[in-house]
Amino acid sequence: MIGARLKQARLLAGMTMTQLADELRAYDFPITKQAISKYEKEKSYPSAQFLLLASSVLGVPSTYFTHEPNKTVEWLAFRCRKKLSQTERNKIKAFASDIVELQIELRELLYPGSSCELPSVKVANLDEAEKAAEQLREYWAVGNRPLDNLAQTAEDRDVVVVSWKDNTGLFDGLSAICEGRSIAVINTSVPADRQRLSLAHELGHLVMDIEEMPSKEEEKLAYRFAAALLAPADHAYHELGKKRHHLDWGELEALKRKYGMSMAAWVRRARDLDIINDSTYTSMNRFIKVHSWHKNEPGEYLGDEEPLQLKQMAQRAVAEGLMSPDRISRVGIEMPESHREKAESTHLTVRDLLAMPEEERQAVMKEAFALAAEEEFEIFEANEIFDDYDEVYDAEAINEAK
């Protein structure tokens, strides 16, 4: 277990075994790459001194190494540029694995028995990809309206949305399955409209049942699904008309703000639905490229696309004493100051008591009852608690009762 967690932490830090060994030697701790390899393969076991120093170097709590993961993630589609190194890809997967495990643990704790499946739709061509997007909207009961917040809409329907910040522009998205739950990892460093399209794309990979085909063809189907989910065909025809010889950039910017889909994606959507022809499509894409709009497009979608459920569930679980702040901070989630103060107190939570052996729990409760017996408690008469209420308030309450 410790070996697997050591490897996970190293990948999360984006370090090779050689780099980790070099960092540890810089702190006068003699270690070799071969020794770290043995630790990770659990052919030998690290000392406490090694784990404490390694936790500092790798930026994780020392308890990270002793936590045993109990979830297995099945990775599906990884969308990124070729320049994204394997080390960085492993880092994203390591981070997502930790977040996914915690998310599922929190969901099972707070929402037992909740549904976690997306519909599975067989898709073999672009028209079927369009229909699959329509079926997801029906399944989610969101109607045919523009989706105000795709990330939180997906989260409310038990999709685990993981936020990863990548300022290089090399990572787009990643989808996975874990214990029947759908996982989508998105880059939240890009504008909101790109986040939405990326998340919709990953949802396509999760919903569409595509038999073996070249990855490029599969990506085309996922892109078509994404555009249809954000801007259904009947909406696109209503907004743009059935046939156009030219699209104005001003109208596309307005549609970007309304639907949260980029102008470039709207141009592609118009071509896919035969609203514009190949010549117009090529001309407009050339304009986008010349003006570098593929890097920084004008106009801004003002919607909020931040995934929030993990933070909300974590704060609720800690506030109710169902999970320790240490378990939350292990994956790098910052808790509010009030929760940190609570964590530093000596008060035991219900979960702490239940985790104790029976004899220890009984001893703790016996001590608590003994302390309570020594305390003096003030006894209130039935109506005494209301004595401090304002007379004006009492008068208003009486008038309302009449």
354: confidence class by pLDDT, cuts 50, 70, 90? low
Burial of residue 280 (number of CB atoms within 10 Å: 0-12, 13-18, 19+): middle
383: confidence class by pLDDT, cuts 50, 70, 90? very low
- Dump the DSSP string for 153-185: HHHHTT-EEEEE--TTS-EEEEEEEETTEEEEE
CA atoms within 13 A on the CB side of 62: 8
Query: 66 and 46 in contact (C-beta within 8 Å)?
Result: no
Mean pLDDT, the chain, rounded, equals: 84
Show the tokens assigned to 115: 């549904």
Q: Full-prediction pTM beyond 0.85?
A: no
- For residue range 202-260, list pLDDT tens digits in order: 999 999 999 888 888 999 999 999 999 999 999 999 999 999 999 999 999 999 999 99
- The winner for highest mean pLDDT among 3-12, 25-34, 42-51, 198-207 is 198-207
Residue spans per domain, the chain: 2-68, 78-82+94-290, 330-386
Sheet holding 160-164, edge to edge: 74-80, 171-178, 181-187, 160-164
348: confidence class by pLDDT, cuts 50, 70, 90? low
- Structure letter (DSSP) for residue 76: E
Check residue 235 and give its pLDDT. 95
Asked if residue 355 has pLDDT above 70, the reply is no
Q: How far apart are CA 211 and CA 23, in angstroms?
A: 46
- pLDDT exceeding 90 applies to what percent of the chain? 42
Report which secondary-structure segment, H or E, holds 106. helix 86-110
Q: Residue 312: CB partners within 8 Å, gap ≥ 6?
A: none
- For residue range 166-180, list pLDDT tens digits in order: 888 889 999 999 988
- The winner for highest mean pLDDT among 284-293, 359-368, 372-381 is 284-293
Q: How far apart are CA 163 and CA 151, in angstroms?
A: 10
- For residue range 143-174, list pLDDT tens digits in order: 888 998 999 999 999 999 999 988 888 899 99
Check residue 343 and give its pLDDT. 47
Query: 315 and 335 in contact (C-beta within 8 Å)?
Result: yes
Token look-up 């890809």 returns 89
Q: How far apart are CA 34 and CA 303, in angstroms?
A: 50
Show the tokens assigned to 144: 């045919």
72: confidence class by pLDDT, cuts 50, 70, 90? confident
Q: Which residue has the higher pLDDT, 69 or 363?
A: 363
Check residue 397 and give its pLDDT. 44
**Strand positions, DSSP E, 33-152:** 74-80, 121-122
Q: Residue 78: CB partners within 8 Å, gap ≥ 6?
A: 89, 174
Nearest Cα neighbor of 135 from 228, 265, 260 is 228
1: confidence class by pLDDT, cuts 50, 70, 90? low
2-68 adopts what CATH topology?
Answer: 434 Repressor (Amino-terminal Domain) (1.10.260)
Show the tokens assigned to 2: 């410790």
Residue 28 neighbours by CB distance under 10 Å: 7
Check residue 212 and give its pLDDT. 81
**Strand positions, DSSP E, 179-286:** 181-187, 208-209
- For residue range 39-60, list pLDDT tens digits in order: 888 888 888 888 888 888 888 8
Token look-up 């009984």 returns 362
Check residue 388 and give its pLDDT. 42
Residue 190, amino acid: V
Query: 329 and 335 in contact (C-beta within 8 Å)?
Result: yes
90: confidence class by pLDDT, cuts 50, 70, 90? confident
Query: 184 and 165 in contact (C-beta within 8 Å)?
Result: no
Using CA atoms, how far residue 331 sits from 101, 151, 335, in Å, is: 10, 21, 11
392: confidence class by pLDDT, cuts 50, 70, 90? very low
Q: How far apart are CA 86 and CA 92, in angstroms?
A: 10
Check residue 335 and give its pLDDT. 61
Q: Which residue has the higher pLDDT, 241 or 13?
A: 241
Check residue 251 and give its pLDDT. 97
Check residue 320 and give its pLDDT. 87
Using CA atoms, how far residue 79 sits from 26, 219, 237, 242, in Å, is: 36, 9, 30, 33
Evaluated on CA atoms 35, 38, 43, 44, the torsion sign reads: positive
136: confidence class by pLDDT, cuts 50, 70, 90? very high
DSSP lists the bridge partners of residue 181 as 178
Class of domain 78-82+94-290: mainly alpha
Show the tokens assigned to 332: 């790098």
